[in-house]
């Protein structure tokens, strides 16, 4: 076999193996989020399957080209069908609990794909004749790793950004199918297998009609809601979670937490002509038909604006839009805002982990004017009893001092919780009043 062909095959293996891992992590976001407790096990299990594939490939002693061609064809089917949105969403919809669906996805799609592709380099180095063992393995690993680098970069920064996740899935499936064809005996049977796999990948990724639009960061959909009021109400869904609501009344009615935030800003604080920063665009409803203040939205996904304007708001957004990571924006901006609203989620209850730390809240405080207000929308248990709720609220108050906490749906297991903090406040110590030592009257006098 020509050396250049061998290098091309191991390049395709590297490109598609790491590409499949990147795609799998993105497909999991709407269902399990992107926290480190999800990404770390996923990457670890992928690497374990890859290592087992190296070991299996080392034991192959014959029919080297045929084995790799077969592995590539099966991997193309696993990638094209198993990583499609319809397959992943169907799995998590019909198989509960969520952790079980996650394990089935990893065990039936991602790990078998990594195991099959991991066999490529040790098998094909057997075909590198008249070269030293170190030279053969070194060049094979070089082209495989180069493919991994280009696959991760090009699929995440180009294919997903401009064409969507489904296009990235198709690239992987088609490359693997072509690799299989290059290795197999190019007869009618080989061509038939490749064509069938390619048709299956194209059909499940492009043909089924769906209202979901996927980008590199999230799945978006606008769905009609029935039973809320006589007028048409539409929901803006992000990663299978309700992000915003709006109807066709005048003035429109929005999601309860959005109306509560608008009430705080416009009625309770009475703000007009002020600068308001919103971290996490959602459906851009906070400023909808609200021209009295200047709104700046920050969101990491550039496409969310056009999707919201065309399908949800059906009008241009009110305010300006900045494409950036919320943490990076508040760290680098020199502008000061009268209100900072934090409403950033990667799924229904999952706030990106770098947006809940003390350092992040310190950065938000720096962006506020001296009399500014921080408003935070959280999804927590209605009683605020879980460790996550206690620790998250404690982290915020370690920076801002005492904050107002309003639970909007007290009877629900999960509720919108609105936290209001002031830049003029500072954390401080407290002591309990007791029958033996009750300083309440003195403190009340000091507070007047």
Q: Within 10 Å of residue 208's Cβ, how many Cβ atoms? A: 10
User: What pLDDT digit, counting tens, does each position of 87-127 carry?
Assistant: 999 999 899 999 999 999 999 999 999 999 999 999 988 88
For residue 18 the two structure tokens come to 């790491």
Q: Within 10 Å of residue 117's Cβ, how many Cβ atoms? A: 31
- State residue 254 phi and psi, 5-degree precision: -120, 180
For residue 321 the two structure tokens come to 């839009």
Q: Rounded to an integer, what distance in angstroms lies between the CA atom of residue 259 and that of residue 187?
A: 65
pLDDT grade for 228, boundaries at 50, 70 and 90: low
The domains of the chain, with CATH numbers, are 3-209 (1.20.1250.20), 219-422 (3.40.50.150)
Q: In a 10 Å sphere around its CB, with 0-12 CB exposed, 13-18 middle and 19+ buried, how is residue 109 labelled?
A: buried
- Please give the share of the chain, as a percent, with pLDDT higher than 90: 61
User: Quick check: bond before 6 cis, omega within 30?
Assistant: no
**Which residue in the block uniquely carries the two structure tokens 């009110």?**
318
Distance of alpha carbon 294 from the chain centroid: 28
Least confident of 71-75, 146-150, 343-347, 351-355: 343-347
User: Quick check: bond before 402 cis, omega within 30?
Assistant: no
Please state the rounded mean pLDDT for residues 351-379: 93
Q: Are 340 and 369 in contact (CB under 8 A)?
A: no
pLDDT at 249: 85
Please state the rounded mean pLDDT for residues 20-36: 90
pLDDT grade for 372, boundaries at 50, 70 and 90: very high
- Residue 447 pLDDT exceeds 80: no
Please state the rounded mean pLDDT for residues 217-223: 88
Is this structure's pTM higher than 0.95?
A: no
**Using alpha carbons only, what angle is made at residue 298 by residues 296 and 300, rounded to the nearest 5 degrees?**
160
SS3 210: coil
- Residue 250 pLDDT exceeds 90: no
Q: Are 287 and 262 in contact (CB under 8 A)?
A: no
Average pLDDT across the chain, whole number: 90
Please state the rounded mean pLDDT for residues 193-198: 89
Q: Rounded to an integer, what distance in angstroms lies between the CA atom of residue 439 and that of residue 444?
A: 9
């Amino acid at each position: 076999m020509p050396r250049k062909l061998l290098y091309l095959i191991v390049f395709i293996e590297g490109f598609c193996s790491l590409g499949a891992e990147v795609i799998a992590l993105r497909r999991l976001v709407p269902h399990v989020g992107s926290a480190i407790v999800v990404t770390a096990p996923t990457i670890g299990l992928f690497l374990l399957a890859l290592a087992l594939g190296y070991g299996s490939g080392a034991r192959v002693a014959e029919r080297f080209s045929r084995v790799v061609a077969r592995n590539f064809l099966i991997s193309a089917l696993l990638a094209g069908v198993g990583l499609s949105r319809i397959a992943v969403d169907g799995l998590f919809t019909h198989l509960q609990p969520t952790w079980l669906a996650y394990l089935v996805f990893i065990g039936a799609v991602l790990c078998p794909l990594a195991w099959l592709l991991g066999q490529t380099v040790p098998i094909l180095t057997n075909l590198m004749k008249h070269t030293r063992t170190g030279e053969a393995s070194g060049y094979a690993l070089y082209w495989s790793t180069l493919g991994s680098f280009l696959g991760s970069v090009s699929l995440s920064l180009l294919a997903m950004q401009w064409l969507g996740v489904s296009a990235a899935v198709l690239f992987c499936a088609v490359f693997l199918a072509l690799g299989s064809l290059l290795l197999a005996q190019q007869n009618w049977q080989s061509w038939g297998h490749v064509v069938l796999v390619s048709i299956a990948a194209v059909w499940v990724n492009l043909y089924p009609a769906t209202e979901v639009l996927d980008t590199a960061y999230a799945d978006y959909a606008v769905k009609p809601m029935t039973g809320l009021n006589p007028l048409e109400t539409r929901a803006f869904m992000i990663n299978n979670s309700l992000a915003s609501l709006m109807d066709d009344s005048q003035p429109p009615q929005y999601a309860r937490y959005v109306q509560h935030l608008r009430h705080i800003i416009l009625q309770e604080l009475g703000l007009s002509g002020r600068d308001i920063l919103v971290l996490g665009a959602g459906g851009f409803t906070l400023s909808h038909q609200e021209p009295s203040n200047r709104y700046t939205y920050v969101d990491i996904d550039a496409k969310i604006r056009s999707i919201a304007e065309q399908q949800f708001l059906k009008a241009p957004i009110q305010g300006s839009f900045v494409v950036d990571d919320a943490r990076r924006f508040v760290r680098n901006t020199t502008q000061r805002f009268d209100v900072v609203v934090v409403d950033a989620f990667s799924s229904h209850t999952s706030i990106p982990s770098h947006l809940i730390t003390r350092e992040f809240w310190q950065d938000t405080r720096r962006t506020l004017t001296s009399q500014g207000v921080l408003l935070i929308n959280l999804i927590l248990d209605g009683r605020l009893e879980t460790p996550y709720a206690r620790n998250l609220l404690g982290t915020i108050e370690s920076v801002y001092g005492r904050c107002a906490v309003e639970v909007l749906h007290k009877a629900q297991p999960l509720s919108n919780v609105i936290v209001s903090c002031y830049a003029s406040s500072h954390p401080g110590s407290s002591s309990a009043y007791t029958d033996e030592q009750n300083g309440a009257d003195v403190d009340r006098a000091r507070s007047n």
